[in-house]
Amino acid sequence: MHTIDNCIVVVTDIFRATSCMVTGLAYGVGSITPVATVEECMDLQQKGYIAAAERNAMKVEGFELDNSPFSYMDERLVGANIAMTTTNGTLSITKAKSAAVKVLVGAFLNLGAVANHLRSQPYDVLILCAGWKGRVNLEDTLYAGALVNALKDTYIIAEDSALLAARAYEQAQSDLLGYVSTSSHVRRLQRLGIHKDIAYCLQHDLYDVVPVLRGSTLVPM
Amino acid sequence: MHTIDNCIVVVTDIFRATSCMVTGLAYGVGSITPVATVEECMDLQQKGYIAAAERNAMKVEGFELDNSPFSYMDERLVGANIAMTTTNGTLSITKAKSAAVKVLVGAFLNLGAVANHLRSQPYDVLILCAGWKGRVNLEDTLYAGALVNALKDTYIIAEDSALLAARAYEQAQSDLLGYVSTSSHVRRLQRLGIHKDIAYCLQHDLYDVVPVLRGSTLVPM
């Protein structure tokens, strides 16, 4: 039985929190502080952070940034400290941080960089899929499968959930966009007109950045 | 969002609790009472039930029946009342019973019979995979996928977990035994020499029986 206290936890929330984090840090954002609640986000905003708050895939009123990765490709954010709260992703990070050896942020956008880092580490790896309000979702599971596949020569697969994710990714990889278009969350996002974000978040290895949690803040490793 | 109180719950624990239940009731067992603890099982044994207790894939000492489906093909059990506790499966049943509209027991052995019954029902369906000590396993997920596939013309798939299970089953169905042989629990069972049980439990549609929970007891529908 594997316990979280010997694990590096890789948190993923493909649509769209961790894809935003990877994009932002790749574009020169100074730090991103994930918080669980809108209130905490507001507190940090008052302390001078640029604040991003999303609930149910929409920006919360009174905050500067939404949850689109394209909003993070902004030169005004270079060096900035961002506070972020999202429906699923930031909660997973704040939950993981007390117990894990180290918390990393993963997305398809930095898949290879995270895998490269993990190959040299002496710990177990737990991939924490944020999902949707406590439930499994397709895109985070596929990311988990992609990372399991990338690590299969260095690690043993200890859980059937990881095996299932890896098989799902093998099945889906030739047409990820087609595969995820059947998912509930993707249908939800498409109703909001976020096609461009979806296609963007499914691209592999655009960036080399590996966001790591130091204290309560994500910075590039 | 779907809630369990509008659901028929189909509990599955392919290796081996629900495969035993289906086999036993198909062979004429009068009733099977699933209980969560060894102590409750012992209480019922003292009241005259034939008792089956398994923990970690092995029979608990002092009980008549183990957790092999072949043990349930016994003419001495015809008409008998059995009390059963297992590591994962019976716990799932006892958890589901307070909230669900109806609790059924599913296995590959009665896949078509359960599907046929569900097609005429006006409720949502939740497939509850017992898994292994709170974790996902391959064989229960594949059963869930098989049932989702069987119902896909009558029901809408409301959860990505169901979609993933259905895809996994499609990938695995031409060689279920080969597919599950990579699973952690199957490796565990194989170490215990239970090859024959594994192959048996993966057979489809041997029986027409649909076990249903009435009060605390499973009987044929």
Q: A214 vs chain B: nearest CA distance in angstroms?
A: 30
pLDDT at A152: 94
A77-86, A131-140, A190-199, B69-78: lowest mean pLDDT where?
Answer: A190-199
Residues 6+ positions from B79 with CB-CB distance below 8 Å: B28, B29, B30
What percentage of chain B exceeds 90 in pLDDT? 77
pLDDT band at A40 (very low <50, low <70, confident <90, very high): very high
Please state the rounded mean pLDDT for residues A28-51: 96
pLDDT at B71: 95
Residues of B with CB under 8 A from a CB of A: 132, 135-138, 141, 158-161, 163-164, 167-168, 171, 182-185
Q: A133 vs chain B: nearest CA distance in angstroms?
A: 10
The answer on pLDDT for A190 being more than 80 is no
pLDDT at A186: 76
Average of per-residue pLDDT values in chain B:
92
Chain B residues inside the 8 Å CB shell of A136: 159-161, 164
pLDDT at A109: 98
Chain pair A-B, CB pairs under 8 angstroms:
51
pLDDT at A193: 72
Please state the rounded mean pLDDT for residues A63-85: 95
Among B158, B160, B184, select the one facing A159 at the smallest CB separation. B184
Sheet holding B31-34, edge to edge: B58-59, B50-55, B81-85, B31-34, B217-220, B211-214, B102-106, B7-12, B124-129
Please state the rounded mean pLDDT for residues B168-184: 91
Classify B35 as helix, strand or coil.
coil
Q: Nearest 5°: phi and psi at B215? A: 65, -115
- Tell me: the pLDDT tens digits for B92-146? 888 888 889 999 999 999 999 999 999 999 999 999 999 988 899 999 999 999 9
Q: How far is CA B84 from CA A62, A97, B41, B217, in A?
A: 57, 41, 6, 10
Chain A residues inside the 8 Å CB shell of B159: 135-136, 184
Average of per-residue pLDDT values in chain A:
92
Pick the residue of B3, B14, B163 with the most A CBs within 10 A to test the interface with A by mutation.
B163
Provide ipTM, 2 decimals. Answer: 0.90
Among A138, A159, A171, select the one facing B160 at the smallest CB separation. A138
Contact A164 B135 (CB under 8 A): no
Pick the residue of B56, B160, B175, B183 with the most A CBs within 10 A to test the interface with A by mutation.
B160
Please state the rounded mean pLDDT for residues A129-133: 90
Buried b (16+ CB within 10 A) or exposed e, B179-205: bbeebbbbeebeeeebeebbebbbeee
Superfamily of chain region B4-211: ComB-like (3.90.1560.10)
Contact A135 B159 (CB under 8 A): yes
Q: How far is CA B20 from the centre of its chain?
A: 8
The answer on pLDDT for A214 being more than 90 is yes
Question: A12: which 2 tokens?
Answer: 């993923």
Q: A208 vs chain B: nearest CA distance in angstroms?
A: 30
Classify A188 as helix, strand or coil.
helix
Of B218, B221, B210, nearest in space to B35 by CA: B218
pLDDT at A189: 74
pLDDT at B58: 84
pLDDT at A75: 94
Chain A residues inside the 8 Å CB shell of B184: 158-160
The answer on pLDDT for B22 being more than 60 is yes
Of B51, B124, B57, nearest in space to B82 by CA: B51
pLDDT at B153: 94
Of B192, B166, B195, nearest in space to B180 by CA: B195
Q: A91 vs chain B: nearest CA distance in angstroms?
A: 20
* Amino acid present at B62: G
Return the higher-pLDDT residue of B189 and B36. Answer: B36
Cβ atoms of A152 and A165 within 8 Å: the answer is: no
Measure the N-to-C terminal CA separation of chain A; round to a whole number of Å: 29
pLDDT at A2: 61
Among A135, A160, A184, select the one facing B137 at the smallest CB separation. A160
Contact B138 A171 (CB under 8 A): no
- Tell me: the pLDDT tens digits for A82-127? 999 988 888 888 888 888 999 999 999 999 999 999 999 999 999 9
Chain B residues inside the 8 Å CB shell of A158: 184
pLDDT at B144: 98
Contact B167 A163 (CB under 8 A): no
Pick the residue of A149, A160, A179 with the most B CBs within 10 A to test the interface with B by mutation.
A160
pLDDT at B77: 97
The answer on pLDDT for A140 being more than 80 is yes
A63: left (phi over 0), alpha (psi -120 to 50) or beta: beta
The answer on pLDDT for B12 being more than 90 is yes
CATH class belonging to A4-214: alpha beta
Rounded to whole angstroms, the Cα distance separating B108 from B173 reads: 11
pLDDT band at A72 (very low <50, low <70, confident <90, very high): very high
Rounded to whole angstroms, the Cα distance separating B109 from A3 reads: 35
pLDDT at B2: 61
Question: Containing H/E element for B46?
Answer: helix B38-46
